[in-house]
Structures are given as structure tokens and as C-alpha cells.
Amino acid sequence: METQELLIEAGRSEGQYWRDLWRYRELLYFLAWRDILVRYKQTVIGVAWAVVRPVITMAIFTLVFSKLARLSSGEVPYPVLVFAAMLPWQFFSTALVDCSNSVVNNASMVTKVYFPRLIVPISAVIVSFADFLISLALLAALMAWYHYWPSWRLLALPGLTLVVFAAGLGAGLWLAALNVRYRDFRILVPFIVQVGIYISPVGFSSNLVPENWRLLYSLNPMVGVIDGFRWAIIGNSVFVYFYWPGFLLSLSLVALLLVSGIWYFRRTEKTFSDVI
């Protein structure tokens, strides 16, 4: 009886690695679908968590910044102003946390078989995108409730969503690789997310930042992205501040984060099975 020898080997060159990434695309779909199915498994309210979390956060931010701090949003309903910013922030923060833990959470698979490790963090970001779509539907319902309709600028939303995807993946790749060696990052990342929401213009508009500080403020890459989402969803308003230099700076930082994240992840992934 003739036997066939199956040889499994890691990509020997950069080009081979990216071809392998395409060949293993079914594994990417499987991991993403598996994580979507188990995301809210054995929880009492299940997928409703994807609705409850953003709604409660929006209500708290509206209460604190609109009612207590008495910040004005002009003709724009304050819940819409907040939710338009929460949309990219929640996508980014969820992707960041899930991506940073993705390799460690799949340690048994990483240590046993070869496949392009980049598939694991990418699938984590795709799972976060599912929550983003639910939040997008919530925002549409909220805008209908307030009879506030978007303009043609909504066409920019898919492009801006890709920027958030790139930001979450870029930063997540750095943290996923560092988390394999240093478990401190498992504790540090939720703290970064907790602080990040307060230093990003989620509960307030960027026009509150003094003009001479705006470029420096835009070193936070999510500032330009959040302002872009508000510009696309809410449209023209004095309370929707769009600062082009800051937006371009954010885009540059996101591109740098993505390229450097891929570079660092590729450089360290060969050691994952030894140190994880």
C-alpha cells in the first residue's frame, strides 16, 4: 500500500508567510466564528450584554457631562454626541483587550501545530467587529428616536471603521506579543483602556481643548478617529469639531502602529511556543 508523506513546515520567507496566511483563511473564519459563539455563552442575559454595556456607558457619560458638568451640545442631542464617539472607542478598546490576550488564550494550539500566528489576533479583532455592528444598530435607533438624521458624510464611515480596525490590530499585535513573555500586560491593558476613555473625546467634544494644545492632544491616535466618526454621523455642527491636522496625525500614527505591530509580532512569533 502506497503511503503519502505529509510535511508541515513554517514559512521560510516573508512571501511564503503571507501566502500561508491566505491558505489558512478557513482557520481564521473558524476561530472568529468559534469566539463569536462562545463570547456570551453561560451568561444570564447572553448577547444582550452587547446592548447593555454601551447603553449604560452612554447614560453615565450623558449624566456626568451634560447634566452635572453642564456641557452644551447645541442642537445635537447629548446621547447622540456621546454614542457617536463610543462607537469607535468601544470597537478599539474591545479589540485591544481581546487581541492582547488572543495568543495566550490559544496557547494549546500555538504550541502544537504550525499556522501563521497572525491569524489569532486578527480573528480577535473580527469578533470585536461583531459588537461594533450591534452598537451601530443601536446608534441608528437612538438617532431615529431623536429624529436626528445623518447626511452624505455617512459615506465616510466604512473608511473610518477600517482605521479603527487598523488601530486595534496594530496596538493589539504589540500587546499580544509582549503578553506572551510578560503577563503583566494582562493586567496593564484593562487599566490602559480605563484611562484611555477619559483622555479621549468620548464624553465631550474636542472643541473644549484649548487651540494651542490640540495638535499635542491628537498624539492620542483615537482623537482624530473619534472626531472623524462624529463628523460623519452627526454632520455640521459647532459642537462637532474636526481638526484636519490632528486627523492626519492620527492616521499617520495608526499606520505606524500597524506596520510596527506586524513587524514586532512577526519577529517574536517564532519564540511563542517556547515561552508561552
Residue 258 — very low, low, confident or very high, per pLDDT cuts 50/70/90? Answer: very high
What does each C-alpha distance from 57 to 74, 83, 87, 184, 251 come to in angstroms? 21, 9, 11, 27, 27
Determine the pLDDT at residue 2: 59
- Taking the C-alpha atoms of residue 122 and residue 117, their distance in angstroms, rounded to an integer, is 9
- 21 is a domain residue: no
Decide which of 122 and 234 is more confident: 122
- How many residues does this entry show for the chain? 276
Q: Is the pLDDT of residue 72 over 90?
A: no
Alpha carbon 168 to chain centroid, angstroms: 4
- 237 is a domain residue: yes
Residue 126 — very low, low, confident or very high, per pLDDT cuts 50/70/90? Answer: very high
Q: Average pLDDT of 219-240?
A: 83
Determine the pLDDT at residue 226: 92
- 3 is a domain residue: no
Decide which of 5 and 261 is more confident: 261
CB 116 within 8 Å of CB 272: no
- 200 is a domain residue: yes
Specify the amino acid at residue 6.
L
Which residue, among 221, 230, 243, has the nearest Cα to 202 in the 3D structure?
A: 230
How many domains are contained in the chain? 1
Q: Is the pLDDT of residue 263 over 90?
A: yes
Q: Is the pLDDT of residue 40 over 70?
A: yes
Under DSSP, the state recorded for 80 is: H
Its domain, for residue 172, covers: 32-271
- Taking the C-alpha atoms of residue 23 and residue 27, their distance in angstroms, rounded to an integer, is 9
> What b/e readout covers 262-273, taking b as 16+ CB neighbours within 10 angstroms?
bebbbebbeebe
Q: Which stretch, 157-161, 204-208, 232-236, has highest mean pLDDT?
A: 157-161
- 9 is a domain residue: no
Determine the pLDDT at residue 178: 94
Residues contacting 87, CB < 8 A, separation 6+: 132, 135, 136, 139, 229, 233
- 171 is a domain residue: yes
- Taking the C-alpha atoms of residue 138 and residue 142, their distance in angstroms, rounded to an integer, is 6
Express each pLDDT in 181-218 by its tens digit.
888 888 899 999 999 998 999 988 888 888 888 888 88
pTM for the whole structure:
0.88
> SS3 letters for 213-233?
HHHHHCCCHHHHHHHHHHHHH
State the average pLDDT for the chain.
Answer: 87
- Taking the C-alpha atoms of residue 276 and residue 274, their distance in angstroms, rounded to an integer, is 6
- 118 is a domain residue: yes
Q: Average pLDDT of 246-260?
A: 93
- Taking the C-alpha atoms of residue 241 and residue 179, their distance in angstroms, rounded to an integer, is 36
- 175 is a domain residue: yes
User: Other CB atoms closer than 10 Å to residue 37's CB: what's the count?
Assistant: 10
Determine the pLDDT at residue 132: 92
Determine what percent of the chain is predicted with pLDDT higher than 90: 42
